[in-house]
């Protein structure tokens, strides 16, 4: 069954485990900040360091695009503040 489980035929959960916590954190920061440069500023890193973390994460999980990377890492990404379920 080609393509089952996501990009490269690897299950998303198994592939997501290959990225480091720091790489997952950088992906989350890019999502929240809206761009690599804005994420770099928020994290106190250079833009090239953010790009390096993203490239390493893409390579480890078999993603060719940042969109694929986000899809694969979704189970490990933190809930954005203010979007999660309420306690009501």
DSSP string of 14-50? HHHTTS-HHHHHHHHHHHHHSSHHHHHHHHT--HHHH
Q: What is the CATH number of domain 11-76?
A: 1.10.10.10
> What is the per-residue pLDDT across 32-88, written as a single tens digit (0 to 9) for each?
999 999 999 999 999 999 999 999 999 999 999 999 999 999 999 988 775 555 555
Looking at the whole model, is its pTM more than 0.85?
A: no
CA Rg value for the chain: 14
CA angle 59, 10, 19 (to 5 degrees): 40
pLDDT of residue 3: 44
């Amino acid at each position: 069954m080609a393509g089952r489980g996501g990009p490269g035929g690897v299950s998303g959960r198994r592939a997501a485990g290959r990225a480091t916590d720091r790489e997952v954190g950088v992906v989350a920061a890019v999502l929240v900040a809206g761009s690599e440069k804005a994420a770099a500023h928020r994290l106190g890193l250079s833009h090239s360091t953010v790009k390096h973390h993203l490239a390493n994460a893409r390579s480890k999980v078999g993603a060719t695009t940042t969109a694929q990377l986000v899809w694969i890492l979704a189970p490990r990404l933190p809930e954005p503040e203010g979007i999660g379920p309420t306690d009501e």
